[in-house]
Structure formats: structure tokens, C-alpha cells
Amino acid sequence: MSLARTKTEKLEDWNRPPVCTVDGDGELLEVSMGPHHPSTHGVFRMDVALDGERVIRLKPVFGYLHRNHEQIGQNASYLASMPYTDRLDYFCSLTNNWAYALAVEKLVGQAVPERAEYIRVITAELTRVQNHASAIGFLIQEMGASGTPLMYAFKEREKILDLFESLTGSRMMCNYMRFGGCRVDVSAAWLDATRKVVAGLPGFVDEYEALLSGNEILMARTQGVGVLRPDLAVNAGITGPMLRGSGVNYDIRKVDHYGIYDRFKFRVPLGDHGDIFDRYMVRVLEMRESIRILEQALKDVPGGPVMDPKAKIRGFKPKPGEAYGRIEAPKGELGFYLISDGGPNPYRYRVRPPSLINLTVLEDMCLGHNVADVVLIFGSVDIVLGEVDR
Amino acid sequence: MKSVEEIKAAIEAAVPDAGVKIIPNGSPSGQHSLLLNPVHAMEVARFLRDDAELALDFLSNVTGVDYLDKEIAEKVKVTRPVTKTVEGVEQTTEETVEETRKHTQPGYLEVVYHLYSMAKKHGPVVLRMRTANRSDQVELPSFTRVWRSAEFQEREIFDLFGVVFTAHPDLRRLLMWEGFKDHPMRRDYVEPDDFEYEPTAHDEVLARAKAHQSREQGPGNRG
């Protein structure tokens, strides 16, 4: 058996007809993995062609959770879309809120008070920690470690979700940010509770890593599996921990300096090989960097309003124009593109979903690997179907 | 980072008859865009990616936009001879009358590309392309061979807007099922009435279901 996609292949040839040659008398077995396969994180299907145990073709099939989110956004006013953004990537509703608020703020040139910027950073980094912890938990779960690592992650995630609930009224569907600030102010008690949770987080990451990072089975299953080349990753628009796992230094928090990220000291962890293990490790290290940001941000949260008093809420009609705003969501670049025609609803409301675009290279990473590895490679992409299908 | 005018000049220096137009943006975001001629779009795309100074190696976002046919009513002053009978004598005088003339401006489908550079860490550069109309001339060149991140996003636009991307390696529907006939993100899309699936035994619903069953299946219906 020979793999068609070798290291010498040029990028422009990537779409040559598939892919692997079949051994002598090998017969192809076509398997439809999903949409109810437990490893697919929801309803997602892969049409896989197998030669024995090896994958020689893999076509993802989408749309089982499609509800035309963009059309709903165009039929609703700008503000009314905010709760719908929670339902995109339902693990990270606060970063979804932020991306949408940022795009609208760019569209109308709206400033955000400093206190609100701090709260946004705090909630977004908490979101990143709980997302990465659960993503790793799910990945290990798919490796066969039933329960324990995932429950470790969920134990910590619950503490963070409790904070979100006491701040916004909801664990996951937070609907918290507004154009020009945040919906409600944080209390001193909430900040103290957050400081307490954040103080416990480094211990959690240490414990989590002691459980996992040196594990022989984890290393055997993930190292050298599902390798993604950096040039292909850039060309295919991969973003987030997947891109950085391949060694490309691109973090929108560092590139765009949106919000107030230029005030905090943090590093961008990078992988060397671009395999599953590197993606896992990048997520672990990103959790540590997020904790650093949280510690810095929680030290001096300034006073003042959380909403710009001049921000218009009722009768919100931006002037005709367009804006694309993006943030570094836990899964990659989450962007919102809005075109206004001067009306109360956006003329065009577009979500740039990192989960969908990160799946572009799923086939490239899986070719030549076993079926059991497909599940792992898929898990290492870290997707949420609410965002893939929209 | 170069300004839009400088990028336009650079494109025109590299691809002489590219025919790039600047589309200004009225929003405070200031993200002006460049309208490409589909005929030379591939050369322009390759230039933007490979140019050492621009190095736009990262196609972040591909968006479809639908603009409906517009009916434009213009008031035109027309001078024409009018024949009148005054005191038994026919006289021809010239009179100026205001007339409303209507003509339709054909709508188009537009695809918007947001480009960034990972190498140089700048962006966005916004490109647009427009189809000739929204019915039969809806082809645009596919950028998938230049930036692979366009692969699924162009499929999505083909699915939801009906833009046909020529030379796309795998142009199938992405989110709707195969056999679906319409394009749900178009602005004149009519939702199918699926009332026959409604289990409520409510008079009004039952009446609509009956009416539906007697009709032929409209566009967008299953099958």
C-alpha cells in the first residue's frame, strides 16, 4: 500500500483523485461512521472506504443539525441574534457573544468601557480553560479511558459554569455581552469567587497532566498519528490549537490585539510535529497561559460602568456598510461578517465557523491510518456540531 | 500593510487587464473591498498569495450575498406634440409631461473573500466577485486550488445561494440533503409548507394540510 500524500507533494496537487492504492486482492469496504456514532460529538457522519483496517477515502457529511442560523440572524434585529450565537458552539457561548459583539461594534464604531473589557477577557479565558479541559477529556474518552479523565475535566468545568450561572443566569446559554459592554455588572463577591476558582486551576492542570501526559498508551496512540503539515494547515485556513500544534505562530489575541489583550503577558505555545499529541499538548499549555492571563486580569479590575452610556440599544440601525470582526475562540478563528443596509436587521449575517473549516483537512490527516485512529484524529480537531452545521 | 489603492495598483501592475474596482465601505470599520473581474480572478488570487510583500496566504472567510432584481422608477420629462382643438381649429403644440418609467436592474449573487497574511500578520484584504445575474449565469471561478480553505465554504455557498464554482474539485451540497431543489439563503426563498407532518389535530392546520396535499409539490419540498 502506498500513500499518495507524501511530503514532497505540492500543495496545488492536493485534490488529485483519491488516494491510496489497494493491496493485491484487497476489497474495499465502505463504512458509514455516524451520524449516531458516540465518537462524533453529536450528529456527524463520515463515509469511509477501507482496505482492511486502513482508511483510503474519507468524506465528511454535514447538515444533520442545520437550522440556517444565518437566515435566522437576518430575520432578527441585531440584538435579537445575540442569544442565538450561544447556540453555535454551545461549549463556549461567551466567546461567541464576544465575537458577535465585536463585529457589531466595528460596524458602528462603538467603544467599550474598560471594566467591560476586563470582564470580557476574564469570562473568555475561563471559557477557554473549560473548553480545552473538556476537549482533552473527550479525546481521552475516545481513546478508551472511559470516564475518569472526562470526569476530572467536568469537575473543574462545573466550577467555572457555576461562576457563569451566578453572573449571567445560565450555565451554557449565557447571552451576556452587548454592543458596547456587558449586560450586567460583576459583584465583588463574584470576583472573589472567581479568584478562588482560578487559584485552584493550576493544581487541576498539574493533576490532569500527571494523569495523562506521561501515559504510555496515550503517547503510543497519539504520537506520529494524524500529522498535519504547517503549509497545508495555513493554506486550508486551519486556526486555533490545531494550527499552533503544527508549529505556525498565529494567535489572533497577539495579531489583532482586540479587546485589551496587549496589556497581558502570555506566550503562544507551539507544537513541533503537528500530530495529535502536539494538539493535546498545545491545549494543555494554552490552559496554563489562560490561567496566567486570568491572574493578571483579576488583579486590577477597574471600576466604572459596564455599558457605554452612549450605546444605542433601542432603535439600533447601523449606517449602510459592512464589517468583519474576529476573535481567537477556543476552537479557532470565530468571525462574524455583517452587511448593513441601514435597516434594523442585518442585510447579511455570516458566521465564520472554525469547527467547520478545521474539518477541511480531516481526510488528509486520516488517510492511511486505522479506523480506530480516525476516531482519535477527529477528536483532536475539537469540533462542536452546533457550529459546524449552524 | 498597504492601502486598498496600493493593492489595486500592485494587482494592475502584475495582471495588466485585471479590471479591479474599489468598493468603498461606509462603516467606521473602514474595510474597503476590491471587486474582481471573474475572468482574471485566478491570476489575481495567485498573485495576492505569492507576492512577497502582500503574502496573503490565509483565506479566512468566504461569504455569499444575494442582491435581488431592483425595479427602478425614474421620473423623466418628456416633450411631445399634442393636438388640441381650440375653437374648431386644430392646433399642434408641444407640451412637457412628467412620465414615470420603470426598468429592472438585474440582481446578482456576490461572493466576498476575507484574506489575511499569517506570514506578515496583516489583513484583512476584502475581495468580491459578482455573477452576471441570479438565474442562468451564476458561474464564478473557484479559489479552492489557490486557498484550500475555500473548499467547504464554496460548497456551502453553492448549496445555500446557488453560485456554481467552476473547477471546484467536489462541488456538492454541504448542509442540505442531495435532491433538495432550492437555495435557502436566497432572499426570495419561500419556505416549504410541511404541514402534512404537523400532528396537531387543529382545524386550521388540518385545512392547510388538506390544501397542501391537493397541490403539487412546490420548490424546496422533499424529494
Residues 183-222 of B with CB under 8 A from A: 184-185
CB contacts of A323 in chain B (<8 Å) are 27, 29, 31
Best residue of A61, A62, A108 to probe chain B, by most B CBs closer than 10 Å? A62
Q: What is the rounded CA–CA span in Å between residue A204 and residue B188?
A: 53
Determine the pLDDT at residue A28. Answer: 79
pLDDT in tens, chain A (390 residues): 334 444 444 445 544 434 455 555 567 788 888 787 776 777 888 888 888 888 888 888 888 888 889 999 999 999 999 999 999 988 899 999 999 999 999 999 888 999 999 999 999 999 999 999 989 888 888 888 787 888 888 888 999 999 999 999 988 899 999 898 898 999 999 999 999 999 999 999 998 888 888 888 888 888 888 888 888 899 889 999 999 999 999 999 989 888 889 899 999 999 988 889 999 999 999 999 999 999 999 988 898 888 888 888 788 888 899 999 999 999 999 999 999 988 899 999 999 999 999 999 888 888 888 888 888 898 898 888 888 988
Output the pTM of the full model. 0.84
User: Can you give the pLDDT at residue A239?
Assistant: 92
Nearest to A29 by CA among A53, A49, A45, A46: A49
pLDDT of residue B208: 78
**Are B63 and A350 within 8 A, CB to CB?**
yes
Q: Is-contact B111 B138, C-beta < 8 A?
A: no
Percent of chain B exceeding pLDDT 70 equals: 92
- pLDDT given for residue B195 in this prediction: 52
Instruction: Please answer yes or no on whether B126 and A321 come within 8 Å at the CB atom.
Output: no
Number of A to B CB contacts under 8 A, please give it. Answer: 114
Distance from the Cα of B25 to chain A's closest Cα (Å) equals 5
Asked if B126 lies within 8 A of A107 by C-beta distance, the reply is no
**Residue A234: which of B57, B145, B173 has the nearest Cβ?**
B57
**What are B91's strand-pairing partners?**
B84
What pLDDT shows up at residue B122? 86
User: Minimal Cα–Cα distance from A95 to chain B, Å?
Assistant: 18
On whether the CB atoms of residues B121 and A255 are closer than 8 A, the answer is yes
Q: What share of chain A is helix, strand, coil (3-state, %, to 5)?
A: 50, 15, 40
Rounded Cα gap, residues B144 and B170, in angstroms: 10
For residue A140, how many C-alpha atoms fall within 13 Å in the half-sphere facing its CB?
A: 26
Furthest CA-CA distance within chain A:
74
Looking at the partner chain, which of A319, A339, A360 has a beta carbon nearest the beta carbon of B148? Answer: A360
Closest CA to A90 of A321, A371, A389: A389
Task: Quote ipTM for the complex.
Answer: 0.85
pLDDT of residue A6: 42
Class of residue A56 by CB neighbours under 10 A (exposed 0-12, middle 13-18, buried 19+) = buried
Using the beta-carbon criterion (under 8 Å), do B61 and A324 form an inter-chain contact? yes
Cβ pair B152:A360 closer than 8 A: yes
Q: In chain B, which residue's Cα lies nearest the Cα of A71?
A: B185
Contact assessment for residue A348 and residue A75, using Cβ atoms and an 8 Å cutoff: no
Identify the segments of chain B with pLDDT beneath 50: 220-223
What angle do the packed helices A188-212 and A114-142 form, to 10 degrees? 30
CA angle A350-A135-A158, nearest 5°?
100
Determine if residue A291 is left, alpha or beta; phi over 0 gives left, psi from -120 to 50 gives alpha, anything else beta.
alpha
Which single residue is written with the C-alpha cell 499569517? B118
Instruction: Tell whether B169 is within 8 A of chain A (Cβ).
Output: yes
In angstroms, the separation between the Cα of residue B212 and the nearest Cα of chain A is: 23
